[in-house]
Amino acid sequence: MIALLVRDLRLTFRAGGGFGLGLAFFLIVTVLVPFGVGPQSDLLARIAPGILWVGALLACLLSLDRIFQLDFEDGSLDLLATAPLPLEGVVTMKALAHWVTTGLPLTLAAPLFGGLMSLPQAGYFWVFVTLLIGTPALSMIGTFGAALTVGLKRGGLLLSLLVLPLYIPTLLFGAETARRGIMGMDYAQTLAILAGVSAGSIAILPFAAAAAIRINLR
């Protein structure tokens, strides 16, 4: 399991694209929104948590099609499916590798990019915390979507259409928790739901993704 995780991390950093592309897209979103909204610091401060969450969500989409596609093309996925290692464990390691190379950098960069949008002082903490809790769900849901579309030619658009509706609960509760935390409101319920979405995704979706891969490899 650990060897598979290390292999995927090495391949991601050697191939390039996913790590830097996601951060670059995230930065572009946070830079362009103030130009579109205008120099209204009060308005930017109110919408900053939601914009940062949307930017992180869209940045996660950029590298989803690479999770299984390269292994499918070179035959490695067939070997992994027939190996003694459970396919559910393979899916989990793939999702973890995606989070380490995409979700975690976006989480660390969000407070820095928040300064471009007049993010309130308390917002730096809450944006970081909510993304840290919510991005594992984004990676796990994206891995499930990648398993559904593995082997399809030009399946990137279909993958996005499948995954985006599933991302909505994480986006809603993540942005709402950050907003409530910044405003000093009660955030316990929305934070618990956000954590529950991530925990539920990690507990259930590896089995669904493994089943989808087995069907696509037949």
pLDDT surpassing 90 at residue 11: no
List CB contacts of 21: < 8 A, sequence separation 6 or more: 62, 63
Which one is predicted more confidently, 206 or 7? 206
143 and 209 in contact (C-beta within 8 Å)?
Answer: yes
- Average pLDDT in the chain: 87
What residue ranges do the domains of the chain occupy?
2-216
83 pLDDT higher than 90? no
pTM across the whole model: 0.90
- Confidence (pLDDT) at 174: 96
Instruction: Give per-residue pLDDT as tens, 113-140.
Output: 988 888 888 889 999 999 999 999 999 9
**Radius of gyration, alpha carbons of the chain:** 18
**What pLDDT does 56 receive?**
92
Helix (H), strand (E) counts: the chain:
10, 0
pLDDT at 17: 53
Residue 15 pLDDT class (50, 70, 90 cuts): low
What pLDDT, on the 0 to 100 scale, is given for residue 16? 57
What's the whole-number mean pLDDT along residues 172-188? 93
CA distance 140 to 91: 9
Query: Tokens 């209204």 belong to which residue?
Result: 40
User: Residue 110: its pLDDT value, please?
Assistant: 92
Name the helix (H) or strand (E) containing 183: helix 156-183
- Rounded to whole angstroms, the maximal C-alpha distance in the chain is 58
Confidence of residue 70 (pLDDT cuts 50, 70, 90): confident
Quick one: DSSP state of residue 1? -
CA 171/CA 52 separation, integer angstroms = 10
Per-residue pLDDT at 126:
94
pLDDT tens, 28-67?
Answer: 988 888 888 877 888 888 899 999 999 999 999 888 888 8
Higher pLDDT among residues 1 and 84, named by residue:
84
User: In percent, how much of the chain has pLDDT > 70?
Assistant: 94
DSSP state of 117: G
The pLDDT, as a whole number, for residue 8 is: 72
pLDDT value at residue 180 = 94
Residue 101 in tokens:
């190379």
